[in-house]
Amino acid sequence: MRMVRWPMTESAELRAVDAWWRAANYLTVGQIYLRDNPLARGGIAAEQIKPRLLGHWGTSPGLNLLWAHLNRLICQRESEVLFVCGPGHGGPAMVANAWLDGSYSELFPEVGENEPGMARLFRQFSYPGGIPSHAAPETPGSINEGGELGYSLMHAYGAVLDNPDLIAACVIGDGEAETGPLATSWFGNMFVDPSTDGAVLPILHLNGYKIANPTVLARLGQDELVTLIRSHGYEPIVVAGGEDGEAPDAIHSRLATALDTAFDAIAGIQSEARAGRGPARPRWPMIILRTPKGWTGPRVVDRTRVEGTFHSHQLPLPEVREDPDHRALLEQWLSSYEPESLFPDGEISSQLRSLRPNPELRMSASPHAHGGMVSALVKPEIAGYHVPQDRAGEVESTRVFGGWLAEVMKENPQSFRLFGPDEVLSNRLDEVFRVAERSWSGEIVPTDEHLARRGRVIEMLSEHMMQGLLEGYLLTGRHGLLTSYEAFVHIVDSMFNQHAKWLESAAHVPWRGSLASLTYLLSSHVWRQDHNGFSHQDPGFLNVVVNKQADVVRVYLPPDANTLLATMDHAFGTSDLVNVVVSGKQPQPVWLAGEEAQAHVEAGIGIWDWAGNEPRGPATEPGSEPDVVVACAGDVPTYETIAAAQLLREEAPEIAVRVVNVVDLFRLQSSSLHPHGIDDASFDALFTTTRPVIFAFHGYPSLIHQLTYRRANDARIHVHGFKELGTTTTPFDMVHLNDLDRYGLAIDALERVPGGTEAHPGLTEHWQQARDEARSYAYEHGEDPEFILGWRFRATGC
C-alpha cells in the first residue's frame, strides 16, 4: 500500500472529509431548492426558490458521505475507483461531488468553481433545459442511471471483469436491494477471478425506508442481515451512525476504518491470487452502512418526524416558496453546514481541495465511466468461416457462427466476453469452448465441463444478470455478446429499454466516448420451440426494440449461416447501438455463398432472382414487374417462402414471382425515419408500387405494417407471421398453425394475382389438402411427413 501525497494527520483528514460531506450536502440542498443566491446571502427570498421542486434528498447524504470517504482513500492509495450509484435518484449528490472534484467545471466550463458557477449549478438542476434529476449520462462518473432500480451491482461486476486494477464501489440502496435483479446479483462474485479481474466493494446503504415503506433488509435483525450477506460469499463490515441523535461527524472514524479494512482485504485477496495462492472463492469484503434517511436534514417539520423516515425521501420541506416558516427552516438547514467556511467568497476552500484526488483518479472523471478506455476489437476475417452454398443442405447457422465467435474470443483475450443464461451450448455455440472456459469460482467436480476459475464465458440462469454484466462490461469500454432464447429475452425488456435510453441520451454528451454496441443473438426462436411449447414461443422483443429512437436500434434476421456470419461481423464493428440478431440453430439450407451473403447483408434487402421466376433483366426496367412479390424476413419464413415460390414456379409457372429477402429489418422503413431506411424509389424498385406483396415474417405481422407504413399502396402488403398460436407440436405444424407455411403463402399469392385461381382450378384446394395431410400425418405419426421433412430446393429451369 503506497502512501502518496497525503501528509495530513488522521484528524486533519477526517476534518476534511467532514467538510467535504457538509459541502456536498449543502450543494445537494442548494440544487434541489435554489435558483439564485446560492450562498443565501441575506437570507432566502421566496422568488429565489425554484417554483417546482423536483429532487430527492433522502438518499443523498449517504452518497455524499461515501464519496467524501472514498476520496480520502483514493488520495491515500491512488486507487482506481468507479462509483456505481444504485440510488440514482440521488442525482444532485453525484453532481455536487463532481463539482467539488473540479471535474464538473472542466466538463461544463460554464459552471465555474465560483459563486456564479454555483448559482448555475443550482439553477440547472432538474430544471427545464437543465440537467436531469437522476444520475444520468449527463452525470460525470456515472455508468448507472438508477431510475429503474436493480442493476447497480450487476453493472459493477461487469465493470471490473478484466479490469484488474479497478475497484467498483457500488452503493446499493436498501430499496433497490428488494428487486429481483439485485437480489440475485450478490452472486456476481461467482464469476470474478481475483488474479485478472478487479474487485467490487458492495456498500449496502440501509437508510431504512423506500418511498413510503420501510425496507425489508433494514428490518431484519442485524445478525440475520449479516449472515444473509455472508452466505453470499462476503465478509460484511457494519458501520452505523446517527442513531439516538448521535452527532453526524462521529461516524467518520468508523467509516474510515471500515473502508481501510475493506480496501486492505481486497488488496490482500488480489495479491494472494496474483501470486498463485488463495482460495478459489475468496470471501470479499462488503460494507453495511446504516444511517438515517435524509440525515442532517430537518428533523421535524410541521410536527412530523422527517429525518430518519420516509418523509425525507424527496423534499423534507415541501412548501418553502409559500411558507416563510419552511423557508426559515431551509435557511437554518443550509447554514448548519457552515457554508462560509466551505465556500469563502464562493470559492471552494483549500481544505476541500485537499481532498481532491489526482485528476485522472477522480471518480467523477473516471475514464472507465466515460468511454475513454474503449479497446479496439480484433475481428478475424469471416471468409475462413463461410460454408459452401447448399440450397438443399442442412447446416446449423449458429454452430457456424460459433466457429468464428471462438476466434473473436481468442483474438480479444481480455476485452470480449460471451454471456448466456445457460444457453450457450443449447444455442449451438459450443465451438467457443475450444478457446475459452466458463468462469466459475465455485467448486468444480469431474462431471463438470468447461468450467474454470478463469473463463471468458459467463452463464447463470438469469437473463437479468447476463444483461447487467454485459452492460457493465460495455459501459466500461469492452465488447461482448449476449445469447438468449428469443422468448425469454422479454425478461430484460426493461433493461434493454433503459440501456437504449442511456445510449439515446449519451449521444448528446460530448465528453462521453463511443461504446461498443450491445448485441443480442436470439436463438431457439419462436418457430423452433415446437418441443418446449407455447411459453417458449414469443417473437415480441422486436416490437419493444423498434419503439426506441432510430439512432440506437438495429434488427437483423439473417436467413442462413453465411448471412449470420456477415451480420455479426457487421454488428461487432458498430458502436453505440443495440443490435438484435435473430437466428435459428436448426439445420437448414445455406442459400448464399460467402461473398453473396456479405453483399446481401450490406444491402440489407434484395431480390433473390434464383428463387423466383421473373423474366430476366434489371428488376427496375419498365415492364419487368412480376405478378406477385413474395417477401420474407427470418430464417424459417425464408425457408417457407422459398418453398412457396417453388410451388408457384412448378405448378403455376406462368405467374411471375419475385422473391425479396430482408436481413436488415429497418430497410423496410423510410430513410426519413431510420438511418438504415431506404427511400421510396428503392422500396418501389423492390416491391413494385402495385403488385400484391405476400410477406412472410418471423414476428408479429403488425410490425411489418408499422415499418412499411405509407409505402406506396401499402394495403397490398399482406403479412403472415406469428398469430400467437402455438403448442408442443412439429415444426411444420407451428408454421401451419400461424398460416406461415409454404402452402398458405402460395395460396395467398395465387389468390391475389388477378386471374390466378381461375387459371389453376383446384390448385388452391390441392395445396390446402397437402397442408392438411401434413397435419394429419403428424398427429398420427408424431413427426412431419417426408414431403415436408424431405423438401429440398430445386433450381428454376429458367
The DSSP code for 621 is S
> Does 44 participate in binding its own copies (rule CB under 8 A)?
no
C-alpha 661/C-alpha 725 separation (Å) is 24
Smallest distance, its own copies to C-beta of residue 444, A = 8
Helix (H, G, I), strand (E, B) or coil at 696: strand
Among 793, 695, 791, which Cα is nearest to 748's? 695
C-alpha 35/C-alpha 46 separation (Å) is 10
- Judged by CB under 8 A, the stretch of 215-223, 250-258, 567-575, 640-648 that binds its own copies is 215-223
Strands (E), 76-165: 80-85
Identity of the residue, 492 or 568, whose beta carbon is nearer to its own copies in the bound complex: 492
Q: How far apart are the first and last CA of the chain?
A: 78
Identity of the residue, 2 or 52, whose beta carbon is nearer to its own copies in the bound complex: 52
Identity of the residue, 6 or 488, whose beta carbon is nearer to its own copies in the bound complex: 488
Smallest distance, its own copies to C-beta of residue 237, A = 17
C-alpha 235/C-alpha 759 separation (Å) is 80
Write the binding mask 733 to 772 for its own copies: x where contact by CB under 8 A, - elsewhere: x---------------------------------------
Interface positions, 391-430, toward its own copies (CB under 8 A): 422-426
Identity of the residue, 19 or 489, whose beta carbon is nearer to its own copies in the bound complex: 489
Give the residue, chosen from 26, 730, 749, 767, that forms a contact with its own copies under the rule CB under 8 A. 730
Give the CA distances from residue 420 to residues 281, 404, 412, 504, 523, in Å, rounded to whole numbers and listed in that order: 22, 17, 18, 25, 11
Residue 289 near residue 204, CB atoms below 8 Å: yes
C-alpha 700/C-alpha 721 separation (Å) is 5
Identity of the residue, 190 or 435, whose beta carbon is nearer to its own copies in the bound complex: 190
> Does 534 participate in binding its own copies (rule CB under 8 A)?
yes
> Does 689 participate in binding its own copies (rule CB under 8 A)?
no
- Judged by CB under 8 A, the stretch of 207-215, 358-366, 410-418, 688-696 that binds its own copies is 207-215
Give the residue, chosen from 114, 196, 349, 543, that forms a contact with its own copies under the rule CB under 8 A. 543
Helix (H, G, I), strand (E, B) or coil at 206: strand
Q: How many Cβ atoms are within 10 Å of 797's Cβ, its own excluded?
A: 8
> Does 698 participate in binding its own copies (rule CB under 8 A)?
no
Cell triple for 785? 411427413
Give the residue, chosen from 132, 371, 594, 744, that forms a contact with its own copies under the rule CB under 8 A. 132
List the Cα angle 572/573/578 in 5-degree steps. Answer: 60
Give the residue, chosen from 93, 121, 136, 172, that forms a contact with its own copies under the rule CB under 8 A. 136
Identity of the residue, 476 or 537, whose beta carbon is nearer to its own copies in the bound complex: 537
Q: Which residues of 686-698 are buried (b: 16+ CB within 10 A; e: fewer)?
A: bbbeebbbbbbbb
Interface positions, 431-460, toward its own copies (CB under 8 A): 438, 440, 442-443, 445, 447-449, 451, 459-460
> Does 110 participate in binding its own copies (rule CB under 8 A)?
no
List the Cα angle 484/489/490 in 5-degree steps. Answer: 170
Give the residue, chosen from 69, 72, 210, 428, that forms a contact with its own copies under the rule CB under 8 A. 210
List the Cα angle 420/423/425 in 5-degree steps. Answer: 115
Residue 183 near residue 177, CB atoms below 8 Å: yes
Amino acid at 601: V
> Does 470 participate in binding its own copies (rule CB under 8 A)?
no
Amino acid at 617: G
Write the binding mask 356 to 395 for its own copies: x where contact by CB under 8 A, - elsewhere: ----------------------------------------
Identity of the residue, 144 or 613, whose beta carbon is nearer to its own copies in the bound complex: 144
Strands (E), 294-373: 300-301, 304-305
Amino acid at 18: D
> Does 490 participate in binding its own copies (rule CB under 8 A)?
yes
Interface positions, 248-277, toward its own copies (CB under 8 A): none
> Does 627 participate in binding its own copies (rule CB under 8 A)?
no
Write the binding mask 112 to 131 for its own copies: x where contact by CB under 8 A, - elsewhere: -----------x--xxxxxx
Tell me the three-class secondary structure of 223-258, residue by residue. Answer: HHHHHHHHCCCEEEEEEECCHHHCCHHHHHHHHHHH
Amino acid at 723: K
Interface positions, 306-325, toward its own copies (CB under 8 A): 308-310
Identity of the residue, 54 or 759, whose beta carbon is nearer to its own copies in the bound complex: 54
Give the residue, chosen from 5, 41, 230, 274, that forms a contact with its own copies under the rule CB under 8 A. 230
- Judged by CB under 8 A, the stretch of 246-254, 337-345, 587-595, 705-713 that binds its own copies is 705-713
Identity of the residue, 355 or 788, whose beta carbon is nearer to its own copies in the bound complex: 788
Q: CA dihedral in degrees (774, 775, 778, 780; nearest 10)?
A: -110
Identity of the residue, 488 or 511, whose beta carbon is nearer to its own copies in the bound complex: 488
Give the residue, chosen from 414, 535, 689, 768, that forms a contact with its own copies under the rule CB under 8 A. 535
Give the residue, chosen from 106, 115, 147, 410, that forms a contact with its own copies under the rule CB under 8 A. 147
Interface positions, 52-81, toward its own copies (CB under 8 A): 52, 54
Amino acid at 642: I
> Does 41 participate in binding its own copies (rule CB under 8 A)?
no
> Does 34 participate in binding its own copies (rule CB under 8 A)?
no
Q: Can you give the length of the chain in residues?
A: 798
> Does 783 participate in binding its own copies (rule CB under 8 A)?
yes
**What phi, psi does 436 have (nearest 5°)?**
-150, 150
Residues in binding contact with its own copies, number by CB under 8 A:
121
Amino acid at 41: R
Q: How many Cβ atoms are within 10 Å of 40's Cβ, its own excluded?
A: 18
Identity of the residue, 274 or 305, whose beta carbon is nearer to its own copies in the bound complex: 305
Residue 570 near residue 601, CB atoms below 8 Å: yes
